[in-house]
Structure 1
């Protein structure tokens, strides 16, 4: 269901239909007032429209529904922090004021945005409105602007839901979703391949940051620690294991594995649209990074619990990473059934552990206390999903945020060198 071949076949079908109907390259953009990622998007979409021969349809939406934002305050807090980091890296403007715009401010913003739909200067106005929202400045409406924007937002939410997404700052083209600045390059690449670029083969507006894979300059002081919050049921965790280990090795950091239960095993609702988008996104990220992925045996439930019972002991034996890597590769790229003894034995033994010693741990509960501590610690940093990473007090959520972790490692090394007088 989730493979490069299926995706490419669907793309070819969409393009044949577009050409047969002599239709334009239609891109839909879903904008949410009060969403920091949407504020970044309106700063780059004018350039995107200059670079590509597309018809861009702008659709306004309200914040995601409760099922998609189970920890809404943490989501909002982390999104502001993350957007500020992303803006600095991309050369865009966003300042985290430490709080969300008020409901009244967002209402006024939506009134003005609704009136601006269809205007050539929509993005300019949206950027100005967003800047005032985040600066906590008053937004004045004109007399001709209607306050009845509820129908516009409701219609936008219904369109987004019907087409398979739940967030703002999202783009839809030919049945595929692209969330935020981080995934814009995928759409640019696709349109370029279709001959829709107006200037040849343009470089991406925002290139995904890379991380060091060699060895960082030696630093004095204590060995840094990377805390890796992971779940065996997370496909994003599945494609980050090699990279977080390489980053830890490059900086001589101690990689601390902090396993937590998957969201669905913590009582959170994951609807089909969210699961479908995640899996589709992981496929293209794995393809870009050259990471095997796609032969899947979902470990939800008992397989995760069995895995954690062994992982808890493997960490004590100094084999935590080896077992985690073996498990993740097994269930996400090799189709190994971790719920079976044969499958888990294979996963265990190739990690350098004795199956005879590990098998008696299955069904034990010692790992649960550790998982609860890990989960509480993770939540205390305003992140509740995985994979997440922490260096000191700097926490970052997502396999595409390793550059934040690397920046924190660099800052820690610089601080150590300064305090010890190293040159």
Structure 2
């Protein structure tokens, strides 16, 4: 792919700043609330249901509770799958969604999609699907199982707690002492010895989501003693997967919100797409020989996604190297080498063809007598990996003292 020129990188930074800065978000929320009060309207939550989407079938199960616990006007729309550049490889996405929804449902106290009878659902009319899909597009989104409230989007049960917190902050919770409907499970491996297990970790330097979960992944692995295989892959956009402005802006906004929940900063952002990624990756084999490849990628992610440092400049690469505790003079001898390419390509084949995943960060947990591999995609699935590590560790009777 053609690398973006320096000017475009800076323009993208300004664009991302508008959706990642918390003060900008808070101003937008305050403006939306003033408009609602002035119009004497109720708190309004619009939900977009896609009948053949497993995440919609999870979200559908909590609609009643949302309406009961919060003083909101809940409006349901029926939609079709959008497809196109916002949802490339739709067949793969559907296969993964079905598997993922089955995995997370019990942790949220919900029935798995496969446990829900098809007869429970009444197919919407073509007119309803047209209207719902049009409304979704008008509001600037592309996915099913989405909640929309006051200018912000919340995806299925995974982001419902963000919506609940906002409604509570607005005083719309009918009983503030009631628990959240779908709180995010903790990333907890306390007291577990997972040295008999293996975790393959597939991160990417140009991934906003990777940037907020990378250090927590490394810290979790160290805490439980699991064998970690660090397997960076190229960013999706460098592999030819399209990314629209609409999708990119939502991802940036959502990452900032998720980072706030995790206690991890996000922004300002200077995209490391293209040459910055190639330069940092060229140093990873050398850094690994010194046991500091994870330190180097951590430093690069921090500089690109929290400090807005330009890694397309040698000064930025130097800063990443030194922040990782490596020697810049020695690093320059390896900068631009190509040994990383075959290795990264192997990681990509593993992730996409063996695991059936194509996004990052992705994980594969292996080990435990009679246990199948657990493969998951997304920074919001590290808690699931942790839960499975706890289960396998305890079932093996290996709990740290």
TM superposition score category, shorter chain reference: 0.7 to 0.9
Q: 1:321 Cα deviation (Å)?
A: 1.0
> Which position in structure 2 is the counterpart of 1:399?
379
**C-alpha spacing 1:26/1:140, structure 2 compared with 1 (3 Å):** closer
> Which position in structure 2 is the counterpart of 1:385?
359
Return the alpha-carbon distance in structure 2 between the equivalents of residues 388 and 273 of structure 1.
Answer: 23
> Which position in structure 1 is the counterpart of 2:173?
197
Q: What SS does the corresponding residue of 2:331 show, helix, strand or coil? A: helix
Return the alpha-carbon distance in structure 2 between the equivalents of residues 140 and 209 of structure 1.
Answer: 29
**C-alpha spacing 1:270/1:370, structure 2 compared with 1 (3 Å):** same
Unaligned runs of 5+ in 1: 98-130, 142-146
Instruction: Please tell me whether residue 349 in structure 1 is matched to residue 334 in structure 2.
Output: no
Deviations 1:147-190 (A, max 9, x none): 98333223322221221211111000011000010111111111
TM-score, normalisation: structure 1: 0.84
Return the alpha-carbon distance in structure 1 between the equivalents of residues 189 and 307 of structure 2.
Answer: 25
Q: 1:217 Cα deviation (Å)?
A: 3.6
Return the alpha-carbon distance in structure 2 between the equivalents of residues 195 and 417 of structure 1.
Answer: 46
Return the alpha-carbon distance in structure 2 between the equivalents of residues 10 and 376 of structure 1.
Answer: 42
> Which position in structure 2 is the counterpart of 1:104?
none
Q: 1:416 Cα deviation (Å)?
A: 5.0
Q: What SS does the corresponding residue of 2:225 show, helix, strand or coil? A: coil
Q: 1:5 Cα deviation (Å)?
A: 0.3
Correspondence for 2:128 among 119, 132, 152: 152
Instruction: Please tell me whether residue 81 in structure 1 is matched to residue 72 in structure 2.
Output: no
Q: What SS does the corresponding residue of 2:380 show, helix, strand or coil? A: coil
Unaligned runs of 5+ in 2: 1-17, 367-372
> Which position in structure 2 is the counterpart of 1:373?
346
Return the alpha-carbon distance in structure 2 between the equivalents of residues 3 and 202 of structure 1.
Answer: 30
Deviations 1:91-121 (A, max 9, x none): 1111549xxxxxxxxxxxxxxxxxxxxxxxx
Return the alpha-carbon distance in structure 1 between the equivalents of residues 158 and 124 of structure 2.
Answer: 33
Return the alpha-carbon distance in structure 2 between the equivalents of residues 274 and 148 of structure 1.
Answer: 26
> Which position in structure 1 is the counterpart of 2:280?
307
Q: What SS does the corresponding residue of 1:338 show, helix, strand or coil? A: coil
Aligned CA-pair RMSD: 2.2
> Which position in structure 2 is the counterpart of 1:63?
81
Deviations 1:60-119 (A, max 9, x none): 11113132232223211221121112211111111549xxxxxxxxxxxxxxxxxxxxxx
> Which position in structure 2 is the counterpart of 1:224?
197
- Any residues of structure 2 matched to 1:27-38 within 5 Å, and which? 27-38=45-56
Q: What SS does the corresponding residue of 1:27 show, helix, strand or coil? A: strand
- Any residues of structure 2 matched to 1:34-45 within 5 Å, and which? 34-45=52-63
Moved over 4 A (4+): 138-141, 414-418
CA contact (8 A) 2:45 2:149 kept: yes
**C-alpha spacing 1:64/1:350, structure 2 compared with 1 (3 Å):** same
Deviations 1:364-412 (A, max 9, x none): 2221111111111111212110111111221111111112212332344
Correspondence for 2:153 among 149, 172, 177: 177
CA contact (8 A) 1:192 1:201 kept: no
CA contact (8 A) 2:44 2:73 kept: yes
CA contact (8 A) 1:81 1:96 kept: no
CA contact (8 A) 2:105 2:111 kept: yes
Greater relative contact order, per chain length (Cα 8 Å cut-off, separation 6+): 2
Q: 1:288 Cα deviation (Å)?
A: 1.5
CA contact (8 A) 1:228 1:256 kept: yes
**C-alpha spacing 1:14/1:288, structure 2 compared with 1 (3 Å):** same
Instruction: Please tell me whether residue 286 in structure 1 is matched to residue 259 in structure 2.
Output: yes
Return the alpha-carbon distance in structure 1 between the equivalents of residues 87 and 210 of structure 2.
Answer: 20
CA contact (8 A) 1:212 1:250 kept: no
CA contact (8 A) 1:75 1:382 kept: no
Q: 1:239 Cα deviation (Å)?
A: 0.5
CA contact (8 A) 2:304 2:311 kept: yes
> Which position in structure 1 is the counterpart of 2:142?
166
> Which position in structure 2 is the counterpart of 1:3?
21
Q: What SS does the corresponding residue of 1:5 show, helix, strand or coil? A: helix
Correspondence for 2:117 among 109, 117, 132: 132
Q: What SS does the corresponding residue of 1:8 show, helix, strand or coil? A: helix
